[in-house]
Structure 1
Amino acid sequence: MTDIDEHEQGERVRAWLKNNGSSLITGVALGLAALGGWQWWQNQGELRKVEAASEFLAYTRASEGDQTDKALAHAAAISQNHPETPYVALVALNEAQRLQADGKAEEAIAKLDAVPTEHLDPALAELLQLRAMRLLAGLDRHEDVLKRLDAQPLPSYPGVAGELRGDAELALGNREQARQAYEQALAALDLAAPTRGIVEMKFTAAGGRLPETPEA
């Protein structure tokens, strides 16, 4: 899987649900296929699928309409009635974003950490950890970021993981470790990746040397 922004997977599903509410099952099926939730979708009964998808659609509309109380009620219903679905993770990602915007980063981290991951596709479970690590970095809790990366190295997002490790090491004054981490990130990133230029700058700032570009 190529590295993506931590919200991109959730946005794929939310966009489908918003634009295809009248074709709910089709929209959700395609969205979950992009999320790695296709196996879950296939294994559920039709009624169960529609109930879970409808609840998430209602949550999404309330959230986008700034109806916080209503959105939280739908979020609670999803957590209670459909805990085995990918929607629990998508709600947590969205709620974490809202909490961060309200200056409640610690609560956002707790929200992400509370999601059960045993039913999730590994890439989606890693996305929760990735978002939590970014929040920890924003709180200057760099040692905690490194501990999490050691415990859960995020194999689905090697470029992002390398950059996170490099940022944490550099913030702690470990320049050589940071250089090595950025080098690993660059090795994992596609040449056309939108974040590659930023990682290259971090790599050179940490003492790395980029290969010379052959003259045309």
Structure 2
Amino acid sequence: MSYQSDDEQVQLLKNLWKDYGQPVVLGVAITLAVVSGYQYWQKTQQQKIAEASALYQNLLDTVSNAASPDKPVQFSPPLTEEQKATVSHVVSVLQNDHGSSQYAAFATLFLAQQQVQEGQLSAARASLEWVLAQQPASEVQIMASVRLARVLISESSVNGQQALDILSRLNAGKSYEATVESVKGDVYLALGDRKQAEAAYQKAVNAAQDNGLNRPLLQLKLDDLAAMAPQEG
């Protein structure tokens, strides 16, 4: 193809840029912005995880516990007032700044555990309800639900049905069936329903045996119910 003048060629290039160049450049710009934004978001998320992990490690160091970062803190001796203040502060920061992280859930579970040990059942209940409100991973949900059911029944037998409702909503699977059924048995017993309690304890024993676990306390509870049976009526 030939052109009558350089001006025509320049005009043609201008038209091509107008028709095709700008959309292409705009598309490239949008792509670069998306990629850059994702990289920034990813970096921010990594920083948040690192901050949450450091805070949780601070809690572990405070209570001198050897639990790993991916598991909730286990039972520990009573805390000093200074340790309590540190734990309360760390949990508060994790809840406010990293509420969706597993570290916030684990730290709050530990706080609830301490609150139960000190007889602060209302506070423990609030802590466990906070964990559940975050819609945590299945294992954490089961753990928090089981502990909440125990706290509820410890507060009052009036809470028995609420505790049963919480436990009944759980999809515990075989791994946690023994634990969930055991707590159900405790709730039924607190409500005075020995028949349902015995059935729940038996399910718990069977589930434990299926998983190759030895739960002598469960068998003891069943034996105690059996010994009480002749006295009924």
TM-score range, shorter chain: 0.5 to 0.7
Q: Residue by residue, what CA displacement relative to the aligned partner does 1:141-195 show, whole Å, maximum 9, x if unpaired?
A: 333322322333644521011111112222322222122111111111037534x
Is 1:76 the counterpart of 2:92? The answer is yes
Q: How many residues align?
A: 165
Match of 2:168 among 139, 142, 150: 150
2:168 and 2:120 map into 1 onto residues whose CA distance is: 26
Counterpart in 1 of 2:221? 202
Please give the secondary structure, in 1, of the residue aligned with 2:196. helix
Q: Residue by residue, what CA displacement relative to the aligned partner does 1:94-153 show, whole Å, maximum 9, x if unpaired?
A: 1112212222111101111012333x2111111111111122232343333223223336
Give 1:43 shift. 11
Runs of 5+ consecutive residues of structure 1 not aligned to the other structure: 1-41, 209-216
C-alpha distance 48-198 of structure 1, shift in aligned 2 (>3 A): same
C-alpha distance 175-43 of structure 1, shift in aligned 2 (>3 A): farther
1:44 and 1:185 map into 2 onto residues whose CA distance is: 44
Give 1:44 shift. 8.3
- Structure 1 vs Structure 2: percent identity of aligned residues? 22
Please report the TM-score for the alignment, with normalisation by the length of structure 1: 0.66
Q: Which runs of 4+ in 1 moved over 6 A?
A: none
1:60 and 1:203 map into 2 onto residues whose CA distance is: 38
Is 1:117 the counterpart of 2:137? The answer is no
Please give the secondary structure, in 1, of the residue aligned with 2:209. coil
Please give the secondary structure, in 2, of the residue aligned with 1:206. helix
Runs of 5+ consecutive residues of structure 2 not aligned to the other structure: 1-41, 65-78, 228-233
Is 1:98 the counterpart of 2:118? The answer is no
**What CA RMSD, in Å, does the superposition of the two structures yield over aligned residues?**
2.7
Which protein is bigger by CA-based radius of gyration? 2
1:102 and 1:186 map into 2 onto residues whose CA distance is: 31
Please give the secondary structure, in 2, of the residue aligned with 1:181. helix
Counterpart in 2 of 1:86? 102
2:140 and 2:101 map into 1 onto residues whose CA distance is: 11
2:92 and 2:201 map into 1 onto residues whose CA distance is: 40
Amino acid at match of 2:51: E
1:70 and 1:167 map into 2 onto residues whose CA distance is: 34
Between the two structures, name the one with larger relative contact order (CA 8 Å, sep ≥ 6): 1
C-alpha distance 171-43 of structure 1, shift in aligned 2 (>3 A): farther
